[in-house]
Structure 1
Amino acid sequence: MGHFRTPQVVLFTRDIDRAVSFYGALGFDEAFRTPRAGTPIHVDLALDGYRLGLATESSTREDHGLDPIADGQRAAVILWTDDVTSGYEMLISLGATPVKPPEPWLDRLLIAWAQDPDGHLVQVVQATN
């Protein structure tokens, strides 16, 4: 039996260029794009060895016959940081929608929530102990 490897999450988007710009501004680097010229249908971004895929809603529907949902709180991208307040402010300045400002959680974390331009949740988290 084969073994699984290299897991990643793919988020569906209606505006892939906007999504790539948003996550690129957060420090993700582009690792894969297809097609290479013009507006892509799929882009993989990487940060600290983790890959986040972005796929267009239309391509996922047309190429694979699936019924993707490209908005709403279906998934969360979690970003660890040493400064939740400035990370949260950065998300908002890049076009994220505020959801919950920084607040303590579990007596050892500080977390904040926003939504990316497609409505996916982004949590910024900092260890306080």
Structure 2
Amino acid sequence: MDLFRTPQIVLFTRDIDGAVAFYNALGFEEVFRTPSNGTPIHVDLALDGYRIGLATETSTREDHGLDPTADGQRAAVILWTDDVPAGYARLIDLGAKPIKTPETWLDRLLIAWVEDPDGHLVQVVQALN
């Protein structure tokens, strides 16, 4: 028996409705929300079997006694694609802040970087032939 399973990352946010809308627009689908009515304090989204949680900075502080931060480049969401330039443009159209335009890395990948509306890094990446 494995001790751990189903890894997931949780990103802290000050604007959970905006964060949910941003990741929904990228193709993530909501799979969990609490509370189920009104403004949520936590929402899980899934894409291709990978799950991202979004938790409000306030609820994490009040409910769990932690000191989360919703500022800066604390984590990166990696999105594989067959078209980095199109993915990069789509992220910017959805309100992401451009960080690095598409560039070749390791002579085998094309990558670009943006920040989501909460400042989390999002990398779009494709394998080059």
TM-score (norm 2): 0.98
- Kindly provide the CA deviation profile for residues 82-124 of structure 1, in whole angstroms up to 9, marking residues without a partner as x: 0000000000000000000000000000000000000000000
Q: Secondary structure at the match of 2:5?
A: coil
Number of aligned residue pairs: 129
Please tell me whether residue 93 in structure 1 is matched to residue 93 in structure 2. yes
Partner of 1:7: 7
Identity of aligned residues (%): 81
**In 1, distance between residues paired with 2:43 and 2:68?**
16
Residue equivalent to 1:72: 72
User: Runs in 1 of length 4+ with deviation above 3 angstroms?
Assistant: none
Aligned-residue offset at 1:80 = 0.1
Task: Label 1:79 to 1:2 Cα distance change in 2 as closer, same or farther (>3 A).
Answer: closer
Q: 1:3 Cα deviation (Å)?
A: 1.4
- Provide the secondary structure at the position in 2 that maps to 1:71: coil
Which residue in the other structure is 1:59 paired with? Answer: 59
Q: 2-side partners of 1:36 and 1:120: how far apart?
A: 25
- Aligned-partner Cα distance in 1 for 2:64–2:38: 21
Task: Report matched runs for 1:8-47 at 5 Å.
Answer: 8-47=8-47
- Structure 2, unpaired ranges of 5+: none
Q: 2:63 is paired with a residue of what secondary structure?
A: helix
Task: Provide the TM-score with structure 1 as the length reference.
Answer: 0.98
Shift of 1:2: 6.2
| Structure 1 residue 71, shift from structure 2 partner | 1.5
**Structure 1: tracts of 5 or more residues without a match:** none
Match of 1:105 in 2: 105
